[in-house]
Structure 1
Amino acid sequence: MDIAALSTGMSQASLAQAVSVKVLSMAKDQASEQGQALVQMMEKSVQPHLGGQLDIRA
């Protein structure tokens, strides 16, 4: 195998790995944002005064 082909192949592999790492980083950031949005939504939906008493008189 010649040096030029080996160098090109290694460069392509390095680029593919860098792209994979960047895509995974973006996916992690997006999942983190979605998790924070879910937590905020759940905090807004909490109503502690509801369900504390049950009126069963007719």
Structure 2
Amino acid sequence: MDISELSMSLSQNKLLTAVGTAMLGKTLDVMEGQAQLLTEGIDMNAPSLESLVYPTSGTMIDMRI
């Protein structure tokens, strides 16, 4: 292997590493955005599924003395 082939090989490896790092950075940005949207979408004040099916459940207390 001569110097020019070695130089080209190292240059290609450097380029592929840079492209891979850039792709990983973009993927990380997308995943962070999706995680933020997911956490914003989970609203703790939203009614539960059970309260939608049984709207009067838990609204009355039966007490007898």
Query: Where does the alignment leave 5 or more consecutive residues of structure 1 unmatched?
Result: none
Q: Which has the larger radius of gyration?
A: 2
Greater RCO (CA < 8 Å, at least 6 residues apart): 2
TM-score, normalised via structure 1 length: 0.75
Identify, as 1 or 2, the structure richer in helix: 1
Which 4+ residue blocks in structure 1 deviate beyond 3 angstroms?
A: none
Match of 2:18 in 1: 18
Percent pairwise identity = 32
- Counting matched residue pairs gives 53
Query: Where does the alignment leave 5 or more consecutive residues of structure 2 unmatched?
Result: 52-56
